[in-house]
């Protein structure tokens, strides 16, 4: 493990921050490559992703403050430490809120982009848990098993040093990467909006609930559960509801076909109305022209020419 990668003067570059940055970058790359397959705009997806990241950072920090509020009240200096202390469930909830706000602003379907983004979220979480390993946070209970981690002394680890611990960070990272591949596989076979997101909620909540039982770092609690275990129970129920509701929706292809049929009928109606208007205008124009044309004058009858007197009269007059 190596919490600090390198330093330039008093500026430290942390491995945890690097893993978070790699996770976010990988999430955007995967989203942009998958968007065309589902008929979604990758540029709009990028904008919505920015909303989700900002909301995720704010949510993760707010939930950490809420969980550790007694310590914050007892030690006001903690309020100035904005670079440390985040709770992943706060990040997920804040990311959902940010994405929802972005969809409202951009007038996009939240469910469709939620399904698009959620495998990328699992991928980013996998890298994020590697960051936890390098930083020594989110550590596990002490164990006698050979499957363990021993953090060395003198490296600034947040975990106890010199004792074997359950490698909860690596277990979480592996589970998140597995979730990513499962979700990508399932998304190619899913026919209804919301199913991919619902499956993520179920998978992640189960895994997180179990791993929380192996951890030994200080966390808040709700009754017999840790704060994250309690939230996991709620997320699991919500995920099941999402899957049930999604299963009752029309398949995605049928909905698109119905929308195309309605559009075709609307276009046909508009064309018929336009044709009728053009015909009516043509008839009115023809009537107007007919009214403006002058009536044809009948030719005047020619007067009969006077016939000359016969030759006999002429001869008498001459005689």
Rounded CA gap, 203 and 182, in Å? 10
Rounded CA gap, 15 and 132, in Å? 9
Rounded CA gap, 12 and 48, in Å? 31
Identify which of 87, 86, 25 has the alpha carbon closest to the alpha carbon of residue 50: 25
**Would you state the pLDDT for residue 77?**
74
- Counting DSSP H helices and E strands in the chain, the numbers are 10, 6
Rounded CA gap, 54 and 93, in Å? 12
Residue 136 contacts residue 151 (beta carbons within 8 Å): yes
Identify which of 135, 93, 106 has the alpha carbon closest to the alpha carbon of residue 227: 93
Rounded CA gap, 174 and 32, in Å? 24
Tell me the torsion sign for CA atoms 205, 208, 213, 219. Answer: negative
**Would you state the pLDDT for residue 51?**
95
**Would you state the pLDDT for residue 286?**
58
Rounded CA gap, 37 and 118, in Å? 15
In sequence order, what E strands does the chain have? 4-8, 11-14, 149-150, 164-165, 221-222, 225-226
User: What are 13's strand-pairing partners?
Assistant: 6
**Would you state the pLDDT for residue 315?**
44
Using DSSP's 3-state secondary structure scheme, residue 199 falls into: helix
pLDDT string in tens for the chain (319-residue length): 677 777 788 777 788 889 999 999 999 999 999 999 999 999 999 999 999 999 999 998 888 888 778 877 888 777 777 666 788 888 889 999 999 999 999 999 999 999 999 999 999 999 999 999 988 888 999 999 999 999 888 777 788 888 999 999 999 999 999 999 999 999 999 989 999 999 999 999 999 999 999 998 877 788 899 888 999 999 999 999 999 999 988 887 644 444 444 444 555 555 566 566 666 666 666 555 555 555 555 555 555 554 444 444 444 444 4
**Would you state the pLDDT for residue 184?**
96
**Would you state the pLDDT for residue 302?**
53
């Amino acid at each position: 493990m190596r919490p600090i990668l390198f330093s330039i003067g008093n500026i430290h570059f942390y491995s945890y921050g690097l893993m978070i940055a790699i996770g976010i970058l990988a999430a955007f790359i995967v989203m942009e490559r998958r968007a065309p397959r589902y008929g979604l705009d990758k540029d709009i997806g990028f904008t919505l992703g920015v909303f989700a990241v900002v909301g995720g950072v704010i949510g993760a920090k707010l939930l950490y403050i809420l969980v550790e509020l007694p310590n914050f009240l007892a030690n006001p200096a903690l309020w100035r430490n904005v670079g440390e202390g985040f709770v992943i469930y706060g990040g997920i909830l804040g990311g959902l809120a940010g994405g929802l706000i972005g969809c409202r602003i951009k007038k996009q379907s939240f469910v469709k982009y939620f399904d698009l983004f959620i495998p990328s979220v699992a991928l980013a979480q996998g890298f994020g848990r590697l960051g936890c390993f390098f930083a020594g946070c989110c550590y596990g209970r002490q164990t006698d098993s050979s499957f363990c981690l021993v953090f060395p002394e003198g490296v600034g680890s947040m975990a106890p040093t010199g004792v074997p611990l359950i490698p909860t960070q690596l277990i979480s990272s592996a589970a998140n990467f597995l979730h990513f591949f499962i979700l990508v596989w399932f998304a190619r076979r899913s026919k209804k909006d919301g199913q991919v997101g619902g499956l993520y909620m179920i998978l992640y909540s189960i895994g997180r609930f179990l791993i929380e039982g192996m951890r030994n770092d200080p966390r808040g609690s709700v009754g017999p559960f840790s704060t994250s275990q309690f939230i996991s129970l709620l997320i699991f129920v919500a995920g099941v509801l999402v899957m049930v509701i999604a299963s009752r929706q029309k398949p995605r292809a049928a909905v698109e076909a119905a929308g195309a049929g309605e559009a075709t009928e609307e276009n046909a109606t508009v064309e018929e109305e336009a044709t009728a208007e053009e015909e009516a205008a043509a008839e009115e124009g023809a009537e107007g022209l007919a009214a403006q044309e002058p009536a044809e004058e009948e030719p005047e009858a020619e007067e009969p020419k006077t016939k000359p007197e016969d030759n006999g009269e002429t001869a008498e007059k001459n005689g």
